Amino acid sequence: MNPRDHVHVILSENVPPTWGGVARVAFSLAQALGEDGFEVLLCGFDRYVADPLYRGAPFAVQPIPSRGWKRGKDWTMAALLVRLWRRYRGRQVILYALTWKLARIAHLVTRRLGWRLVVFVHGLEVTRWGSGPKHGAMLAAFRAADLCLGVSRFSADLLIDAGVPRERVQVLNNGVDIAHFYPVTSGEELARVRDLRRRLGGEDQVLILTLARVIERKGQDMVIRALAELTAPRPEIARRARYVIAGRGPEGELLRLKRLAEELGVAEAVVFWGFVAPEEMRVLYNACDIYVMASRVVAGEDVEGFGITFLEAAACAKPVIGGRSGGVPDAIADGETGFLVDPEDPRSLAERLERLIADPALRRHMGEAGLARARARFGIQAVKDRLLGLLEALP
């Protein structure tokens, strides 16, 4: 199959300016394909694609009505498919569903229209809906796809174990936009990085960052416990550490974390930063010294499919620490670009933090290795080339 003979239609409920992982993948893929001369249509919620950032984009956009989406998504998708059929009647189309829910209706018509269907697999959907009607509908969508793309080896293996034919499942790791995430070395933005560090304690502080939703799976509580583990044996190390929790979350979880920090005596070392606008993310990554997200499996089903923030931090030349769970091992080269730890063992996490806090040269070495790996393997252009190779291999 020659991908250049096709129109590439990307379906994603969430797209920038909202800045979740799926939104970033959808936008970056559309941009990379568009810049390479492919005809691309990005379909996303109307409230997002109306943003000025889409002016002059190398792809077209199609709004998906967001009002009443939860209850009427199937009808909304059916109407969208009719619109797409009218627009591309007689054309060859590759339809990318960034989530299985977007493929639930699409898979019923793509073969009749002669279109190709590519469905992305994140992992959480497979673990969360392990039985019942949703499980059956999900597997039907995956089995009908021409190609299922697991964002990690973990995600791909979940799908194969669920009965999707192995030959239709491939791994396509999430890519990082290295044009947006990079080490800041000069200019006004460097001044903003330095000002942020001053506000968080000065150059002598070692800033540890988690930039993610504040939910149990992301493991912010384990980092707080690890800080407490540092305090007793190495108080001089612990005094230098400042932990920044950036991101939104349920009020109950935020209160739980604040109480935990107070109970463990590390409240002064923990900063709750709150929401981070997309344009501020690069500054925050550059201001930190260590990026950590101790992701873990919660209740047997809530799991990290990959962990795009590890690559964003690496692209800013920062060493990373992640929980050895789900798809995280694809994002971190253990011992080279950072460390993988048992996400349920704060002592193990504390030991890795201690090594990096005490050794600036190790932080610099791992950060440089992570930057090189992010650019060579996970840059969106490399991911796009991998995708095109997989499409060309389709019969």
Strands 320-323 and 290-293: parallel
- Look at residue 20 and tell me whether its pLDDT is greater than 90: no
Q: Which long-range contacts (CB under 8 A, 24 or more apart) does 53-59 make?
A: 53/16, 53/17, 57/30, 57/31, 58/31, 58/34, 59/30, 59/31, 59/33, 59/34
Closest CA to 163 of 182, 186, 136: 136
- 308-315 vs 21-35: helix crossing angle, rounded to 10: 60
Over the chain, what is the mean pLDDT? Answer: 93
Instruction: Kindly report which listed range (128-137, 172-181, 321-330, 331-340) carries the lowest average pLDDT score.
Output: 128-137
- d(C-alpha 47, C-alpha 52), whole Å: 11
Find out whether 204 and 341 touch, Cβ atoms under 8 Å. no
Q: What is the pLDDT of residue 130?
A: 59
- Look at residue 300 and tell me whether its pLDDT is greater than 60: no
Q: What is the pLDDT of residue 278?
A: 84
Q: What is residue 107's three-state secondary structure?
A: coil
Does domain 187-377 fall under CATH 3.30.70.360? My reply is no
Instruction: Kindly report which listed range (95-109, 114-128, 281-295, 353-367) carries the lowest average pLDDT score.
Output: 114-128
User: What is the distance, to the nearest Å, from the Cα of residue 142 to the centroid of all Cα atoms in its chain?
Assistant: 21
Residue 153's Cβ-count burial label (10 Å; 0-12, 13-18, 19+) is middle
Q: What is the pLDDT of residue 4?
A: 87
Q: What is the pLDDT of residue 131?
A: 61
Find out whether 79 and 56 touch, Cβ atoms under 8 Å. no
Q: Quick one: average pLDDT of 305-316?
A: 95
Which segments within 85-189 are labelled E, that is strand? 93-97, 116-121, 147-150, 169-171
Q: What is the pLDDT of residue 129?
A: 58
Q: What is the pLDDT of residue 21?
A: 81
Strands 40-45 and 60-64: parallel
Pick the CATH number of 3-175+379-392 from 3.40.1180.10, 3.40.50.620, 3.40.50.2000, 1.50.10.20: 3.40.50.2000
At 370, the pLDDT band (50, 70, 90 cuts) reads: very high
- d(C-alpha 186, C-alpha 79), whole Å: 49
Q: Which amino acid is at 311?
A: L
Q: What is the pLDDT of residues 100-135, one digit of tens each?
A: 889 999 999 998 999 999 999 987 777 665 566 777
Give the range with max mean pLDDT: 10-24, 116-130, 180-194: 180-194
User: What is the distance, to the nearest Å, from the Cα of residue 17 to the centroid of all Cα atoms in its chain?
Assistant: 15
User: What is the distance, to the nearest Å, from the Cα of residue 217 to the centroid of all Cα atoms in its chain?
Assistant: 14
Pair of tokens at residue 187: 């200019």
202 vs 297, which has greater pLDDT? 297
Q: What is the pLDDT of residue 339?
A: 98
Q: What is the pLDDT of residue 298?
A: 86
Q: Which amino acid is at 321?
A: I
Closest CA to 348 of 182, 212, 223: 223
Pair of tokens at residue 132: 């019942």
Find out whether 296 and 223 touch, Cβ atoms under 8 Å. no
Q: What is the pLDDT of residues 221-239, one digit of tens each?
A: 999 999 999 877 778 888 8
Instruction: Kindly report which listed range (37-41, 217-221, 234-238) carries the lowest average pLDDT score.
Output: 234-238
Q: What is the pLDDT of residue 239?
A: 87
- DSSP character at residue 73: H
Q: What is the pLDDT of residue 138?
A: 84
Q: Quick one: average pLDDT of 338-367?
A: 97
- d(C-alpha 156, C-alpha 59), whole Å: 29
Percent of the chain clearing pLDDT 70 (strictly above): 97
Strand order in the sheet with 206-211: 270-274, 241-246, 206-211, 290-293, 320-323, 338-341
- d(C-alpha 74, C-alpha 76), whole Å: 5
Find out whether 177 and 213 touch, Cβ atoms under 8 Å. no
Q: What is the pLDDT of residues 48-78, one digit of tens each?
A: 999 999 999 999 999 999 999 989 999 999 9
The size of the chain, in residues, is: 395
Question: Start-end ranges of CATH 3.40.50.2000 in the chain?
Answer: 3-175+379-392, 187-377
Cβ-based neighbours of 209, under 8 Å, separated by 6 or more:
243, 244, 246, 284, 285, 287, 288, 290, 291, 292, 313
At 299, the pLDDT band (50, 70, 90 cuts) reads: confident
Sequential DSSP letters for 130-163: -SHHHHHHHHHHHHH-SEEEESSHHHHHHHHHTT
Pair of tokens at residue 206: 């070692």
Q: What is the pLDDT of residue 132?
A: 65
Q: Which amino acid is at 61?
A: V
Q: What is the pLDDT of residue 373?
A: 98
Strands 40-45 and 7-11: parallel
Q: What is the pLDDT of residues 153-164, one digit of tens each?
A: 999 998 898 889
Q: What is the pLDDT of residue 139?
A: 86
Find out whether 153 and 171 touch, Cβ atoms under 8 Å. yes
Q: Quick one: average pLDDT of 24-37?
A: 94
Q: Quick one: average pLDDT of 191-204?
A: 90
- d(C-alpha 209, C-alpha 212), whole Å: 10
Q: What is the pLDDT of residue 361?
A: 98
